[in-house]
Amino acid sequence: MDYRKMIEEGRVWLGIEFGSTRIKAVLIGPDHQPMASGSHTWADKLENGVWTYSLDAIHEGFRDCYRDLKEEVKRLYGVTLRRLGGMGVSAMMHGYLPFDADMKLLAPFRTWRNTITGQAADELTEKMQFNIPQRWSISHLHQAVLKDEAHLGQLRFFTTLAGYAHWLLTGEKVLGVGDAAGMFPIDSDRCDWDAAKLDLYENLIADKGYPWKLRDILPKVLAAGENAGTLTETGARFLDPEGDLEPGVPLCPPEGDAGTGMVATNSIAPRTGNVSAGTSIFAMIVLEKALKRLHREIDMVTTPTGKPVAMVHCNTCTSDVNAWIRLLGEVLEAYGIPANRDELYVRFYTLALQGDPDAGGLTTFNYYSGEPVTETEDGVPMLVRRPDQPLTLANFMRAHILSALATLSIGMETLTVEEQVGIDSVLGHGGLFKTPVVGQRLLAAAIGCPVTVMETAGEGGAWGIALLAAYATEHSESETLDRYLKERVFAEANTVTLAPEKEDRDGMAAYLERYRALIPAERAACKAVKG
């Protein structure tokens, strides 16, 4: 395809996603395949007991990611990126960004990673008889209410990171329904906030006398394909200070990383699911019917079109594996051996398949923060091994990858065993799957069903939000997102599917038996280390 001509004519769509450690941009053309990308590396900071990113970091990362994409377009196609057919932004879900009437931030951004809202989450779950996790935006708001934080008197709007990034570009206070479902419960039939639960909450805090109603300070909810505004002159100059990007670009509703993961893996129909595995790990299973009862370890969210989804979310996945691979790379460099980052991952991940199925008695906890599924309020990485079994590099790597999957495996048992939820297919995406076979094979063992990976798995949510941007401007009036993805995007997708192997399943079961027994030790370690 003549990509240069497409870029010059503006027949391209841009998606930008704020991940936990990287902001990524992906540009696609009419074939829906990535044609250029850009990125920006960043990290959250623990400030005064709160995991946060500053507004300066958000702004700088947003612009630098776009600049990196723009430079790659120039290098690959010899043309300056000026016109877009559409665009969209997405980000890690949940968290709390509170603003006053002038959109001045009233408190540091409290991200999904924080586990500081336990009292609020428990109270709301009991009152609503609906699982409200700690990381949800309403939990952060209600925790602030319980503490009677001073900023609440000035509060006039709160949103997620994706909602804020979208506002920067368009001035619109809107949110895609999938991301909205991580702020407050959604009524899937209406594709809007659950009105009964809004009333319940407003009655709950009525005696506080705040100058706002919850329904008035939440973003407007939009489904995939709806008009979410256009890129303003101010937004264009913000994103591209060089002045090349033309305003007027239509934007799709901003979404969360869970929703873009569903789109990127074509997992938005009932009985399908996907697992996103990177800094955090979560499974999204689209349901045929409601669950039988409330489960604190299962979140109820939605697809970008509003269908109910059961979400098993674990706060930490690859962070500890990444830390150990960096350390092993430093060992090589100390001996004067250059350590290419991508090669390190392939070599060390592949070693995991040579280890014993149960990792030879090694057990690790990859917790960088609390994990609700295992009822741990905080986390520290921990490695436990038997002194009578040899320590090998292969078992070491296998133990760390099994640990990255262990909490998800425990949470998925609630769906597949207790609730008897039917799952026809699960697709994997995210950093864990960049090395072929390893993460895919061990995930199949961890969740007990076949796992499919696409060639685009490494592109993840940035590609997903680019597809939503294309759908918003390309689809016909009667063309659902399910049909659009099936017929226009994934009809000829190259995929690889691996079924669970008995040896791996047995090894995972043995690993999980040790893992469960050691959860009290992890809690004790947290207490000893953090006080």
Q: How many CA atoms lie within 13 A of 268 on its CB side?
A: 26
pLDDT of residue 282 exceeding 90, the answer is no
Residue 276, pLDDT > 90, answer no
Confidence at residue 326, expressed as pLDDT on a 0 to 100 scale: 95
pTM score, whole prediction: 0.81
Mean pLDDT confidence for 510-516 = 98
Q: How far apart are CA 365 and CA 482, in angstroms?
A: 38
* CA 138 to the chain's CA centroid: 18
The per-residue pLDDT for 455 is 72
Calculate mean pLDDT across residues 399-428.
Answer: 93
CATH of domain 3-256: 3.30.420.40
pLDDT at 457 over 70: no
pLDDT given at position 430: 81
| Phi, then psi, of 243 in degrees rounded to 5 | 85, 10
Q: Do 95 and 141 form a contact (C-beta atoms < 8 A)?
A: no
Q: At 229, phi and psi to the nearest 5?
A: 105, 180
Q: Which two tokens stand for residue 177?
A: 């329904």
**How far apart are alpha carbons 99 and 77 in whole angstroms?**
41
pLDDT of 313 reads 86
Domain-wise residue ranges, the chain = 3-256
Task: Check residue 425 and give its pLDDT.
Answer: 81
At 456 the pLDDT is 56
Q: Is 159 helix (H, G, I), strand (E, B) or coil?
A: strand
Average pLDDT of every residue of the chain: 94
The dihedral of CA 519, 523, 524, 525: what is its sign? positive
Mean pLDDT, residues 168-189: 96
Residue that wins the pLDDT comparison between 168 and 434: 168
Average pLDDT of 501-527?
97
pLDDT at 289 (0 to 100): 82
Q: What's residue 459's pLDDT?
A: 60
- Split at pLDDT 50, 70, 90, the class of 431 is confident
Predicted confidence at residue 494, as pLDDT, reads 86
Residue-level pLDDT at 292: 85
Q: Please write the tens of the pLDDT for every residue from 496-512.
A: 999 999 999 999 999 99
For the cut 70, the answer to whether the pLDDT of residue 22 exceeds it is yes
pLDDT tens-digit profile of 93-121? 999 999 999 999 999 999 998 989 999 99
CA distance 11 to 227: 18
